[in-house]
């Protein structure tokens, strides 16, 4: 298993180009199952989750071609992917794939809408929480699907197709909103989704579905109205910039006291994060295709944050902000309201000298003067990158083990940070 070695304490200065958004690319790729035509996506990030989803789509019978080369065996490195799902030969999403990447369960809605059946593994829990599928299941049932759970699989059938329904989600769920948007696009009649997620990745999916011929209104609001159509067609579409990667590198600049220009992105995608960073003492200057961020002063101030659905502060940026707050000249209360167990990075940050006390869903971070490098262990994608950020600011050497989590969602992380002056390298172990 690879690890990452960082010699910290250097301000980062330079430019980082932001990749396409993993969390947008995944549902956009799944939308290929809704049409017999070819869907071509550009600005795709080269991260492990994309390869895992290609494997799943090919397992369903899709043909995926990346930059002209067959990607069926994985191991592709292009940015433009064409997927053709004319012949769906298998409607099962196996445990081995879905347990690695929960987004695999998004195939349920499209398969039901197009083929009338799907057998999808329950994703199971993960480090950050139990992550149930009840919202996906009950909403698809309201549209006429019959779903039973047997042997760890959701076995779903809609022999007469799906029918539009008025659905009110009891909790805001990004995945359930995406699954239902895709299912409703090919259903009979009108579906209304209330308390829908408003994340920019939902807007990206609506824009793609519309380009494929879907009739959807309300993106960016909590009420989506979908008039089902008989068929969707192929299109070409560019994946939006990764707002979590954007926020992560913004914090890299601030935590090291450097100055980084982020390109191929927009400040408006992570306004809540930039507001918190400005309050902590960051300077932000918007540019034509991104922004420049630096720290104004020798330290940052303590700022409280609470994670919330968009446009609130994103849970996927909680761990990174906590890393920053460990070095604040005061205290910060960090409250996690989306996932029940998303403080796995706390004991690891403590190994670097952070002073953090967890009370239920809140963590009180009392800033310390310095962090000192140590061996630490990555537990999930965003927790891992918070350890990278802390390691960049810590004195001496930090070794982060189990970095396969990072590879799921950050493209060429070491290369991008090294280009800004970080002393960072990957250690390959067999
Ligand atoms: C997506 C993101 C993930 C992000 C999360 C919240 C992708 C691939 N992943 O995950 O990075 O952290 O949004 O912004 O886009 N819930 C239920 N029942 C359900 C579904 C969800 O109770 O059927 C709960 C979850 O346990 C969680 C909350 O709803 O507490 C939000 O989860 P959700 O928005 O569904 O997250 P994902 O779509 O899985």
Q: What is the pLDDT of residues 271-291, one digit of tens each?
A: 999 999 999 999 999 999 999
What's the average model confidence in pLDDT over 348-367? 97
Question: Which pairing describes strands 13-17 and 259-263: parallel, antiparallel, or unpaired?
Answer: parallel
Identify the bridge partners of residue 166 per DSSP, sorted by sequence position: 192
pLDDT over 70 (residue 77): no
Looking from the CA of 115 toward its CB, the CA atoms found within 13 Å total 21
What's the average model confidence in pLDDT over 73-102? 84
What's the average model confidence in pLDDT over 228-251? 97
Dihedral, CA of residue 93, residue 49, residue 126 and residue 405, to nearest 10:
150
What's the average model confidence in pLDDT over 231-256? 97
Class of residue 180 by CB neighbours under 10 A (exposed 0-12, middle 13-18, buried 19+): buried
Instruction: Identify the band that residue 404 occupies on the pLDDT scale cut at 50, 70 and 90.
Output: confident
pLDDT given for residue 189 in this prediction: 98
Q: Which of 50, 122, 174 to mutate to test the pocket of ligand 1 (most atoms within 8 A of CB)?
A: 174
Class of residue 313 by CB neighbours under 10 A (exposed 0-12, middle 13-18, buried 19+): buried
Q: Considering only CA atoms, which residue is closest to atom 13 of ligand 1?
A: 174
Q: Which residues line ligand 1 (CB under 6 A)?
A: 23, 26, 102-103, 129, 131-136, 171, 173-176, 201, 315-316, 338-339
Looking from the CA of 316 toward its CB, the CA atoms found within 13 Å total 20
What's the 339 CA to ligand 1 centre distance in angstroms? 8
Instruction: Identify the band that residue 78 occupies on the pLDDT scale cut at 50, 70 and 90.
Output: low
Task: Quote helix, strand, coil % in the chain, to nearest 5.
Answer: 35, 30, 35
CA neighbor of 316 nearest in space, from 22, 16, 14: 22
Mean pLDDT of the chain: 94
Q: Which atom of ligand 1 is nearest to the CA of 340?
A: 30
Q: Is 420 a catalytic residue?
A: no
From 13-22, 26-35, 72-81, 330-339, the region with the lowest mean pLDDT: 72-81
pLDDT over 70 (residue 98): yes
């Amino acid at each position: 298993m690879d690890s990452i070695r960082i010699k910290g304490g250097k301000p980062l200065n330079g430019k980082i180009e932001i990749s396409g958004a993993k969390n947008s690319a995944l549902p956009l790729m799944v939308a290929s199952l809704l049409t017999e035509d070819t869907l071509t996506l550009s600005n795709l990030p080269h991260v492990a989750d994309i390869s895992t989803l290609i494997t799943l789509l090919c397992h369903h019978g899709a043909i995926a071609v990346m930059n002209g080369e067959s990607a069926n065996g994985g191991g592709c490195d292009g940015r433009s992917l064409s997927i053709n799902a004319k012949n769906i030969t298998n409607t099962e999403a196996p445990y081995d794939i879905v347990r690695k990447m929960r987004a695999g369960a998004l195939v349920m809605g499209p398969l039901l809408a197009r083929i009338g059946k799907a057998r999808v593994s329950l994703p199971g829990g993960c480090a950050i929480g139990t992550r149930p599928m009840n919202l996906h299941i009950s909403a698809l049932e309201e549209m006429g699907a019959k779903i039973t759970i047997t042997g760890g699989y959701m076995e779903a059938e809609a022999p007469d197709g799906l029918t539009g329904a008025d659905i009110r989600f009891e909790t805001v769920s990004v995945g359930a909103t995406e699954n239902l948007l895709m299912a409703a696009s090919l259903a009979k009649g009108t579906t209304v989704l209330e308390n829908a997620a408003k994340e920019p990745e939902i807007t990206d999916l609506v824009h793609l579905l519309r380009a494929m011929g879907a009739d959807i209104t309300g993106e960016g609001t909590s009420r989506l109205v979908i008039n089902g159509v008989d068929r969707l067609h192929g299109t070409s579409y560019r994946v939006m910039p990764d707002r979590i990667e954007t926020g992560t590198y913004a914090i890299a600049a601030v935590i090291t006291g450097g100055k980084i220009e982020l390109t191929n992105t927009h400040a408006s995608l992570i306004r809540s994060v930039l507001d918190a960073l400005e309050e902590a003492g960051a300077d932000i200057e918007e540019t034509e295709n991104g922004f420049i961020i630096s720290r104004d002063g020798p330290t940052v101030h303590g700022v409280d944050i609470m994670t919330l659905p968009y446009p609130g502060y994103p849970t996927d940026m909680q761990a990174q902000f906590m890393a920053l707050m460990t070095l604040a000249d005061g205290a910060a209360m960090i409250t996690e309201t989306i996932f029940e167990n998303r403080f796995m990075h706390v004991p690891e940050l403590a190994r670097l000298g952070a002073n953090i006390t967890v009370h239920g869903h809140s963590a009180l971070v009392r800033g310390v003067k310095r962090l000192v490098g140590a061996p630490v262990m990555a537990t999930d994608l965003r927790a891992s990158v918070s350890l990278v950020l802390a390691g960049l600011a810590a004195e001496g050497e930090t070794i982060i083990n189990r970095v396969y989590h990072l590879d799921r969602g950050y493209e060429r992380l070491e290369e991008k940070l090294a280009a800004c002056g970080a002393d960072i390298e990957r250690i390959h172990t067999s």
